[in-house]
Amino acid sequence: MIDIDGITKRYGKATVVDRVNLQIPRGGVVSLIGANGAGKSTLLSMVGRLLEPCDGRITVDGHDVQATPGPELARRLSVLRQENHLPVRLAVGELVAFGRFPHSGGRLSTRDHDHIDRAIAHLDLGPMAHRRLDQLSGGQRQRAFIAMVLAQDTDYVLLDEPLNTLDMRHAAQTMDTIRRMADDLDKTVVVVLHDVNVAAHHSDRIVAMKHGRVVADGSPSEVVDRDVLRHVFDLDVPVSHTDAGPVAMHFGRACTSGDAPLASRTGEFR
């Protein structure tokens, strides 16, 4: 279980994450949604110990993420940031192999190679394993990084907007991969998503944030609701119920009319 206890992050006077308490038990896909600047990515980065919280404590299966030795935590928890530009040039296969570093310390065993090959196959990267990352498209690169995280073989996987640079097909494939990571490989995936409908369709639980706080938390059908969404995004979004579950109609005129106070939305960026 990931246990987030009273986590706060401030930059100067701006509080980006404000005393968040959240428990994420093992298993399933949990989506974090919210407007820009709501604190989703910051929270995720603190769980992945890429950022240090100003206050509070995060544990993963009882291990404090700040205090646990790096390699030990890296065998339980992997994290992938939104922008992954590498300062060095390397091939897809090489990158994926680095996912085994926490386990191997740099010397790959047969078992490590199995994991690498499986991850490459899982993300359909076989044909381009030899290609250099800087020669790939944004979507391919993103998949290579996900493959690295997969090779890392951790119980918990944190992904920050993995669909950001992907076209529709690759976005669907990636969400499918995420789903299978949870279903077939028994991993717990926490993912920051922009699109409420994608979140609704692929996750078991949705946590919505606003102004650095958790403002809604529940199943997709609970969160994708006109009143809840209005509260989260300050935007009136009709929800239509289809066979595939609830769909937020955040396009068309309904969004900009009514009581969607633009002023309060821009206020969030301060």
Partner 1 sequence: MLQLRDDLDRPVADRDADHGFSPRHAALVLAVLAALAVAAIAVFMTYDLRGSLAFALELRAKKVAGMALVGTALGVATVLFHTVSGNRILTPSLMGFDNLYLLIQTGAAFTFGTFAFLSVDVRLRFGLEVVVMMGFALALHRLFLGRARDDVVALLLVGVVLGGMFASLTDLVARLIDPNEYVTLQDQFFASFATVDEELLGVSALAVGAVLVYVWRRTARLDVLALGRDTAVGLGVDHTRTVDRVLMVVALLVSVATALVGPITFLGLLVSNLAYRLVGTFRHRWTLPSAALAGVVALIGAQFAIEEYFAFETRASIVISFIGGTYFIILLLREART
**According to the binding rule CB under 8 A, does residue 102 interact with partner 1?**
yes
Q: Which of 34, 39, 99, 212 binds partner 1 (CB under 8 A)?
A: 99
Of 116 and 206, which CB lies nearer to partner 1 in the complex structure? 116
Of 151 and 232, which CB lies nearer to partner 1 in the complex structure? 151
Shortest spacing between CB 114 and partner 1, in angstroms:
12
What is the per-residue burial (b if ≥16 Cβ within 10 Å, else e) of 229-245? beebbbbbbebeeeeee
**According to the binding rule CB under 8 A, does residue 48 interact with partner 1?**
yes
**According to the binding rule CB under 8 A, does residue 50 interact with partner 1?**
yes
Q: Which of 92, 171, 182, 223 binds partner 1 (CB under 8 A)?
A: 92
Cα–Cα nearest to 32, from 4, 65, 72, 11: 4
Of 93 and 246, which CB lies nearer to partner 1 in the complex structure? 93
**According to the binding rule CB under 8 A, does residue 69 interact with partner 1?**
yes
**According to the binding rule CB under 8 A, does residue 72 interact with partner 1?**
yes
Cα–Cα nearest to 56, from 249, 213, 199: 213
Q: Which of 12, 13, 88, 168 binds partner 1 (CB under 8 A)?
A: 88
Q: Which of 14, 26, 66, 89 binds partner 1 (CB under 8 A)?
A: 89
**According to the binding rule CB under 8 A, does residue 71 interact with partner 1?**
yes
Of 130 and 241, which CB lies nearer to partner 1 in the complex structure? 130
Q: Which of 34, 37, 53, 93 binds partner 1 (CB under 8 A)?
A: 93
Shortest spacing between CB 70 and partner 1, in angstroms:
4
Q: Which of 129, 150, 171, 207 binds partner 1 (CB under 8 A)?
A: 129
Binding residues (CB under 8 A) for partner 1: these are 48-50, 69-75, 78-81, 84-95, 97-99, 101-102, 105-108, 113, 129-132, 149, 152
